[in-house]
Chains A and B, each alone.
Chain A
Amino acid sequence: MADAIEVRHLVKRYGNLAAVDDVSFTVRAGTVFSFLGPNGAGKTTTVEILEGLRRATSGEVRALGLDPWTEAAALHRRVGVIPQDFRFFEKITPREAIEYYGSLFGHRPHPDELLARVQLEDKAHSRFDTLSGGQKQKLGLALALTNDPEICFLDEPTTGLDPTARRAIWDVIRSLKSEGRSVFLTTHYLEEAELLADRVAIIHHGRIIAEGTPPEIIAAHGRPERLRFAAAPALADYLRPRLGLAVSAADGRVEVELGAPSDALRVLSAVAASGVPWASFATAQDTLEDVFVRLVGQMDDGTLKAEGTT
């Protein structure tokens, strides 16, 4: 399948500050790619360069095979964008806004269908300045879809929204993918990336520090799977010399990191043999969030350098 977006060694500098510092990645057509990072990591700068709203300092950027800066007009006919904190004309209603976009793009969208799709039918005739944050964002999404785009750029589409509105937008993003559109999603919500994205890149201080599918990232950067017992530290003291695995004890819990899944059996037999009483046990696995927090923390400590990507 062709690539929807290709970025090679992208750099964007503002004076001495490199907002985006040698970033490379590829988004395959028809997939959801999520750019994950804390605020100020360079997510918006990158997405704006991809949308042709900002000019790259150096590097090569292609969206649908077009240079977003020099071929912006051609690109904009084929992509849909909702920016962070979408704003529109205050006195205009969602229905009028969609008709307006339809005229500008020379498409004849069905406003009611689009509004239904983003669950905004009941606000079709309300002025923009009376809409809630979530409703505004939904209108942004509807407008981004007026021109039947091949790529949708969604820059933190659910930031500040209530859980219901957030879920509604997630549904739309899923449907975009099922229609074969490519989606470039920036977010600082781990859950969002984990739920929606085929591939995730974690960006921090303008650099990509991890990239892959969520399980790949967890496998590469997460700690091993763990067995966790509610037990006294005496259990840890018993297990440590006998297993050759990392064992830790804290807050009335003992954790054993498994080198391989089969280690679990060895651990359980050793626990049984120890005679130390235990109340419950569970397996624990790093989530994308654990990995994210650790990687970002390590980068801030200077103990991690950005990795070469893909």
Chain B
Amino acid sequence: MRPARILADLKIVVRSYLRNPVALFFSLIFPIVLIALFGLIFSGAGNSPIPVQVLNLDHNSGTSQEFLSALNATNVVKIQFVDWNESKFAALLGQNDDPIGLVIPNGFAANYSARQPVAVTVYTDPEDAADSGAVLGAVQGVSNYFNLNASGGSEIVSIDQRYVGSQVFTYIDYLIPGLIGFSILTSPMFSMVDVAASYRKEGIFRQLSLTPLTRAEWLTSHFLWYMGITFVTAGIMIGSGVVLFGARVHVTLGLVPFLIAGPLFFVSLGMLAGSVAKTPESAALIGNIITFPMMFLSGTFFPVSDFPAGLQGFAHILPLYYVIDGMNQVMLFSNAARAALDFGVVLAGAIVVFVLAIRFFTWRGE
């Protein structure tokens, strides 16, 4: 491999790309559109009251009922009484469609009239920060009102906040690594499949085969380009996620390996898919068959942990899952060990696919 030839080819790739306004739009504007679209659809707070599962352990004392009817009167929440076992409340709530809950403790009325501190427990949904925040605000408001009435402001009723999941991540936090993964997958896959098939049909590979440029050099220059694109789109996605939706993600150097190995994997896979196909049409079909399941089932738009068990198992055979899971480990959970494992899977896969792509991708006939 000669760096000078890779560089010369990279120049051609970059120029071709920058002179194509549609491609430019898709790589620079599309990420923002995606973030905005999914962010608005799935994490926006609606105006309708938010269902809250309420377990009243104070045996329907007058005070607790007053507290709850005041809460209902805010119109922020819609109280749904449940009669679950207290020890199973969190677990049952986790399985509920509306996993936000409130527990009024036993002795709430007695403590309140004795002006002894007492805490109500609010369970919030880590994946729905907006609703959770609204409910917390409403409960806090009602508590303040009660505190003011009883003691002129000193805190009697307090809030014990717990999460249905283990940590607080909002949908947008999951969405950022997911969508970076989405673009790592789609931008090289769609265009490499097309390039592989159409360059062959138009005789451009033939033309290149008559020069000293090697296939590995050619594929490397394309990988470098898509790696560059990936860094830019990742930056745009993180930036717009933070600015538009207040996403809280860690941006560390731990992200870099995924932004390198991911594009290497999918540039090679796109090339491989385009090379085994006989015509541009069948190449597009093969490309879609590979791309679409990964596009939706690797944790791009929704965390894989939200999937039914069977689908979760399927997700684990998709290469993109490891790219996105790795970025989740880095950006959300700070779990370096698991991120390293994910990276190992991606890198090993990328090398195998790169070598296979070089093998199968011929630029002269027999």
Neighbouring A residues of B212 by C-beta, 8 Å: 73, 76-77, 104-106
Is A9 engaged at the interface, CB distance under 8 Å to the other chain? no
Q: Give complex CA distance A238, B300 in Å.
A: 97
Q: Is the CB of B5 within 8 A of A91?
A: no
Which residue of A is nearest B8, CB measured?
Answer: A103
Q: Which residues of the partner chain B approach A55 to less than 8 Å between Cβ atoms?
A: 366
Number of interface residues of A (CB under 8 A): 30
Q: Which of these binds chain B: A79-87, A182-190, A199-207?
A: A79-87
Contacts of A54 in B (CB 8 A): 364-366
Contact between chains at B202 and A87 (CB < 8 Å): yes
- Is A211's beta carbon under 8 Å from chain B? no
Q: Are A85 and B203 in contact (CB under 8 A)?
A: yes
A281 within 8 A of B: no
Q: How far does the Cβ of A102 sit from chain B's closest Cβ, in whole Å? A: 8
The answer to the question of B207 belonging to the interface, with a C-beta cut-off of 8 Å to chain A, is yes
Main SS class of interface, A: loop
Q: Does B317 contact A (CB under 8 A)?
A: no
> Do A53 and B206 touch (CB < 8 A)?
yes
Whether B8 lies near A104 (C-beta < 8 A) is yes
Q: Give the residues in chain A near B207, CB-CB below 8 Å.
A: 83, 86-88
Asked if A96 lies at the interface with its beta carbon under 8 angstroms from chain B, I say yes
Q: Which residues of chain A are within 8 angstroms of B15 by Cβ–Cβ distance?
A: 91-92, 96
With A52-B364, A53-B365 known to touch, is A101 a contact of B20 (CB < 8 Å)?
A: no
Question: Taking CB as reference atom, which chain A residue is nearest B214?
Answer: A73
B211 and A89 contacting across the interface, CB-CB below 8 Å: no
Is A89 a contact partner of B16 (Cβ separation < 8 A)?
A: yes
Give the secondary structure class of B's interface: helix
The smallest beta-carbon distance between B361 and chain A, in angstroms, is 15
A251 contacts partner chain B, Cβ-Cβ < 8 Å: no
| A140 to B, closest residue via Cβ | B207
Interface centre among B11, B12, B20 (most CB of A within 10 A): B12
Given A85-B203, A87-B202, are A101 and B19 neighbors across the interface (CB < 8 Å)? no
Q: Distance in Å from the Cβ of B241 to the closest Cβ of chain A?
A: 32
Which A residues touch B8, using CB under 8 A? 99-100, 103-104
Against A, the Cβ 8 Å flags (1 = close, 0 = not) of B3-39 are 0110111011001100110000000000000000000
A104–B5 contact, CB under 8 A?
yes
Within 8 A of A (CB), among B195-213: 202-204, 206-207, 209-213
Interface check A174, CB cutoff 8 A: no
Q: Is A221 an interface residue (CB 8 A)?
A: no
A53, B364: Cβ atoms closer than 8 Å: yes
Of residues 32 through 87 on chain A, the ones whose CB sits less than 8 Å from some CB of chain B are 48, 51-55, 72-73, 76-77, 79, 81, 83, 85-87
Beta-carbon contact of A96 and B12 below 8 Å: yes
A51: chain B residues at CB < 8 Å are 210
Bound-complex Cα distance A77 to B12 (A): 21
Q: Does A179 contact B (CB under 8 A)?
A: no
Closest beta carbon of chain B to A254's beta carbon, Å:
53
Q: A54-B364, A103-B4, A127-B19 are in contact. Are A81 and B210 (CB under 8 A)?
A: yes
Contacts of B211 in A (CB 8 A): 76, 101, 104-105
Question: With A and B bound together, what is the CA distance between A187 and B15 in angstroms?
Answer: 35
Measured CB to CB, the nearest residue on chain B to A45 is: B365
* B121 shortest CB reach to chain A, Å: 62
A155, chain B: closest CB distance, angstroms: 11
C-alpha spacing A244/B338, complex, angstroms: 102
Nearest chain A CB to B351's CB is how many angstroms away? Answer: 25
* Residues of chain B within 8 A of A88, CB atoms compared: 204, 207
Interface mask (B188-231 → A, CB under 8 Å = 1, otherwise 0): 00000000000000111011011111000000000000000000
CB of A307 closer than 8 Å to a CB of B: no
Q: How far is the CA of A153 from the CA of B222 in the complex (A)?
A: 29
Using CB atoms and an 8 Å cutoff, list the residues of chain B in contact with chain A. 4-5, 7-9, 11-12, 15-16, 19-20, 202-204, 206-207, 209-213, 364-366
Question: Could you list which residues of chain A lie within 8 angstroms of chain B, going by C-beta atoms?
Answer: 48, 51-55, 72-73, 76-77, 79, 81, 83, 85-92, 96, 99-101, 103-106, 127
Q: Can you add 7 more A-B contacts, CB < 8 Å, to A53-B365, A72-B364?
A: A76-B211, A81-B210, A83-B206, A91-B16, A91-B19, A92-B15, A104-B8
15 CB contacts below 8 A, A to B, read: A48-B365, A81-B210, A83-B203, A86-B207, A90-B16, A91-B16, A91-B19, A91-B20, A96-B12, A96-B15, A100-B9, A100-B12, A103-B4, A103-B5, A106-B212
Q: Top 6 A-B pairs ranked by shortest CB distance?
A: A103-B8, A91-B19, A104-B211, A87-B202, A91-B16, A53-B364
